[in-house]
Structures are given as C-alpha cells and as structure tokens.
Structure 1
C-alpha cells in the first residue's frame, strides 16, 4: 500500500471538517425551522377557490420544503369557532389560521377593507394594491397591534348579490328583509333597512330552509351551489356589488412568525402568493358551467335594477365616510385604496376591451 502523502492528508481533513460543518448546519436548521402548525380554516376546504387554497398551500409547502414546513389544516369549528380564529391566533392558542378578516370588524373596523369592499376593487386590482401598493404594509401594521402577522393567501372574483326567495326591484324591497350578509356589505344593507344577520357558512342553509332568513349571500355560484342555496331561493342576483373581490389570509401569531428564519418566512410567503393566483384562476374557471345549469334547476339569474345599485352606492359612500371619521386605521387604509384606484382607473378604462353583451 502506498503511504498517504501530506497533501492528501490535508485534503481528507478538509473534507471531514466540511462534512461536519454541513451536518451541523443541517441539524441546526432543522431544530430552528421545523414548522408543525395546526391551521384552523374559516371555510370548508371542499369549497373551490374559497376554502381549498389553504389545503393546496399546505401540500405545496410541504413538498417544497422537503417536509420541513407542515400545516395540519382543520375544518371550520374543529379547534375554535369560525369567528374566533383571530383571537385564538393572537393568544397563541393555535399558531396560525386561514381567515376572512372581515369577521374581525367588530373589534378591528379596518379589517373589513382587507377582505371585501362594496363597489371596490376587482380581484387583480386588489392584489396589485396589496403587492405593489401599500396594502401589505398597511395590513401588517394594523394586525401587529393584535400580535398577528397576515399573509395574503387567496383572492377570488365577485360574489353574487345574493339568493332571494322573492324578487327585489328597489330599496323599498330591502326594508325589513331578513338576510344573511357579512362584512361592509351587511352594514350597507342595515342602513337600507334590511334585518341583517351574520352566521357561519354551515348554518346558512338550515336558516334559509326554516325561514329564519329570506335571502343570503355567501360566495360565487359554484360555491353557493355546493351550499344548496339554489334548492330554496330561486332568484340569484348580480352583480356582486358588495364584494367585487374576496380575499382570505393566512394569519400567524406574530411572536411565532418573528422567530422564524428569513428563509422559512420567504417560503411561506411564496407558497401563499402562488396560492393566491391559483385561487383566482380556479374560481374564474368554474362559474360559466354553473350558470349554464341554472335553467334546469329552476333558478333565474337576475340583474339588479340600476336605480337600486345607485341607491346602494350612495349608502356605501356615506358609510365609508362615517367609518373613516370614527377610526384612523380605517381612514388610512381606505384612502390608500382609493388613491390606488384613481391611478389605476385611467389604465383600466383605456386598456381593456368593453364586455360584449
């Protein structure tokens, strides 16, 4: 056997040291950044575009991180009630949740602006404000006060204006109407004289069936069909004035978030950004076929009277000014959205083809 030369010895020693360093680094990374979170979902993960984004994000992030980051997603109500997700995350009862932030508007008035705004932005416009404008920064600043870090994780297109047992023609038809409506749109209808209630998604169909409510909104036609609203309320109204976009967020306890490495934070951000885009494409792809099947189900798609829409817009404008005067955060975020819209409007008006009749 040939004796080992000094240079070879040095090379072997270098390789051994490098191997130990690499092994140690891997172990340190694993110890620090191994994520195993229980994530409470606000919507059922069987609902396309609305509820399933967090399921797909969990699958993708596990694969992309080679199992380093894993979310165990729980269906609505399994860990905490749907309207209590933010509070549970704030107190670190659970590390994270998939939430519709407008359910926080009782305690955080400006939260509704991050979820859906009547006569507000279209989905790609909202996403542009979030990523390229002030949206992300303002949302993080708002929720930092509540020990929460929000990450945009889903945006879908307009809801319908609701499912009604009887036709509506004017603002007078809304007075005294018992209707399930959430977010800022619900506040608008209250001002219009409707009797508005906010109940979780799983309770809507029984309430409609028993007559506790006469009408409801929830989401897009493909989702509402799964909920069964078309079996009882045969008048589906458009456009979804109250919710031109619907945004949902992954919310994370801020202390938990701040302890993560930059690489793990970036991985979660990237997964949710991808989830946001896929939610939009998934939601848009499904609606046409559902609308085509309305006739066979005895459902009539109806358009709201222009005068009714104009009346709702006037009420909305008054409400936004009222809430802006009451809450500085609301004003800051609403003003930012309006400024972005004003800049964007000239582009949208010139660049896009008019919709064919």
Structure 2
C-alpha cells in the first residue's frame, strides 16, 4: 500500500512538474514574442461614441493581451489618408490597417460590398451575424478582399439608425423628390430611385455641408452619435425608422500580407478583440440611444417623426427594384444577394415562429 501511495505521489509530482514546464514554456514563448507596431487609420474620430470609442478599446485590448508587445496606433481621420480612401492605402501597405466599414469601399469594389455593412429592410443583429459568420456572408467578403491583398474582421455592430434629419416636416416621401442629401450604402440607391440626389460624406464633413446648404438633409447614424455631430442645430425633424440600416456592422481592415506575417498568438488576439467590440458596441448603443433621443426632444426642440406605412412601402418597393437591377450590374452584389436571400429563406420559418409583437394587452 505504501508503494502504491508512493507511485501515486510520484505521478502527481510528475504531472505537476509537466504542467509547470508547459506553463513555463508558454510564458517563455510569450516573453520572447517579437514586438510589432502597426498604424491604424480610423474613419471616425476617437471621441465619436461607439464608432471612435470602440476603436480605442480595440487597440487597448490587443495591447493588453500581448503584454504590450503588439501595439496598434490609432490615427484620427485624415491624419494619414482621407477617411474614405483607406482601402487603397492599406492595400498598398501605406498603413497596415484601417478602422472603417465595408460600405465606404463601393467606389473601389462596387455596390455589392455595402451588403456587409447593412441591408435595407434587413434583419436584426442575430440574423445578420448568423449569415455573415456562419451562412457564408463573410466568406464572400473575404474572397473579394483577398483579391486586393486585404482581409477583414467584423469589429463593431450598432443599433438601428434613424431615417434622416430634415429641415422641415414632410407629409409624404414623395415630397423629398429633388432634395440633395447625404446618404450611405445601399440605402443611397433607394433614395436616388425616389428622386433624391445623394452623396457620401465622412462624418466630419456633414455638418459644414448642411450648414452651407450643399446638402438639404442628411442621415448618418443613431441618436447618440447624431446628437454629438450637431445636426439638430440645423435640421429639427428627425425621421424614423431607419429602414436602410436596422443593424450596421463595421470592420478592422488589414493588409493581408501584414496579417499573415503575424505570430499565431497575435492573429488570435485580433479575432478575440474584434468580436468583443461587436458585443460591446451593440449593447452600448442600445443602452445610450433612448436617453439621447429623449434629450433631443426635451433639450433641443427636435420633433420625432415616423414615416407612414404607405411611405415605408414605397421605400421597400424602391429597394426591391434596386435589388434586381444591381444583380445585373455588379457581380459581387449578385453573389452577396443570392447568399443573403437563400439564408433568409431558410431562417424565415424560425424567425417568424419566435417573433412577438410589442404587447398583446392592447
């Protein structure tokens, strides 16, 4: 019995020593890991809620996980390259990475790339991420980006946007025909279908354009961000719902050669830190929007308006027309749309079975 106990003690000691050696080896590997410094051009300012703030959290998380060995330096919009020109800069290796969104690359990759930011009359976050992460959506994005020497990671998703900021009240969507408006992504094509002249402006350029009358109206994001940009000082009517962006996802865009050269630990840190921000930005934006929306009305005299069901039907009909037309014009759009629609067809039964109205007590 004493021999058996001795063997047992010996086994425990060997196991303990082996574990200690394994941990020591891991620690030594981490300690010996090379130092890496990257530049990250951001599309949004560091103080902009959710978009800019999440960029700061992201680079901080990577640095903490690496023990300070992997540092990604945040650069304000325009510091290295113009906010909307980051794709080319990263593709050429002028910067290693960008904090941006797919819809800003339509000039380079065509309209289809905007599918990976948001889809008009699209799903909520659960369904959208299910398609992107597991239903093939991000595989299509990766194929398109790899052709330009790029790779990307979803790095934030935020709550639904508003439909736009207008200087006066409108009785019908027909009344906005002929208007000049800042609009983003796939929704811009819908607005053009309805007779609105659209242009894409970076966040910092919107207020001056609105103030000078270069544009008559604008959309950008949701109440907690829009209030910081001051649109309410000029346009007092904020329309809902954000039919064009019920969920919006952005990305950490990386030069693929630079990413492939990273140690495996650092690659994993990027993947972990980016998915953490997806959760934090969505929860944070859902938390802060109600109070910001209330503040707009009580402190700034903003009138909240909602498009009628008839108007929303016109937006949806225009989107359906854009959807069919763009499939014929843009190969990436056609591929993304086919994948997305096939996934939604399968998901619909589950989604409908689990859906609830706001209340059943009225």
**Do the two structures share a fold, i.e. TM-score over 0.5?**
yes
Match of 1:194 in 2: 196
Match of 2:336 in 1: 333
Match of 1:84 in 2: 85
User: Equivalent of 2:279, from 253, 277, 280?
Assistant: 277
Per the TM alignment, residue 28 of structure 1 is displaced from its structure 2 partner at its CA by 9.2
Which has the higher mean CA deviation after the structures are superposed, 196-205 or 231-240? 196-205
CA contact (8 A) 1:80 1:88 kept: yes
Residues 224-257 of structure 1 show CA distances to partners (whole Å, capped at 9, x for unaligned) of 0000011111110000011111111001001111
1:352 correspondence with 2:342: no
Match of 1:41 in 2: 42
Shift in alpha-carbon separation, 1:27–1:164, aligned structure 2, 3 A? closer
Match of 1:215 in 2: 217
Shift in alpha-carbon separation, 1:354–1:37, aligned structure 2, 3 A? same
Match of 1:139 in 2: 141
Per the TM alignment, residue 341 of structure 1 is displaced from its structure 2 partner at its CA by 1.9
2: CA distance, partners of 1:287 / 1:45:
19
Match of 1:60 in 2: 61
Per the TM alignment, residue 171 of structure 1 is displaced from its structure 2 partner at its CA by 3.5
Matches within 5 A, 1:115-134: 115-134=117-136
CA contact (8 A) 2:113 2:332 kept: no
Match of 1:15 in 2: none
2: CA distance, partners of 1:27 / 1:298:
55
Q: Report the TM-score when normalising by structure 1.
A: 0.90
Matches within 5 A, 1:1-357: 26=29, 29-31=32-34, 34-109=35-110, 110-293=112-295, 294-356=297-359
2: CA distance, partners of 1:25 / 1:296:
57
Q: RMSD between aligned alpha carbons?
A: 2.2
Q: Report the TM-score when normalising by structure 2.
A: 0.88
Per the TM alignment, residue 35 of structure 1 is displaced from its structure 2 partner at its CA by 2.3
Secondary structure of 1:52's counterpart equals helix
Secondary structure of 1:51's counterpart equals helix
CA contact (8 A) 1:127 1:155 kept: no
Shift in alpha-carbon separation, 1:29–1:192, aligned structure 2, 3 A? farther
1: CA distance, partners of 2:73 / 2:208:
29
2: CA distance, partners of 1:180 / 1:22:
55
Per the TM alignment, residue 123 of structure 1 is displaced from its structure 2 partner at its CA by 2.2
2: CA distance, partners of 1:184 / 1:207:
21
CA contact (8 A) 1:169 1:308 kept: no
Per the TM alignment, residue 279 of structure 1 is displaced from its structure 2 partner at its CA by 0.7
Runs of 4+ in 1 over 4 A off after TM superposition: 21-25
Shift in alpha-carbon separation, 1:35–1:355, aligned structure 2, 3 A? farther
Shift in alpha-carbon separation, 1:123–1:47, aligned structure 2, 3 A? farther
CA contact (8 A) 1:156 1:246 kept: yes
CA contact (8 A) 1:53 1:276 kept: no
1: CA distance, partners of 2:27 / 2:50:
41
Number of corresponding residues? 339
Q: Return 5+ residue gaps in structure 1 as ranges.
A: 1-17
CA contact (8 A) 1:149 1:252 kept: yes
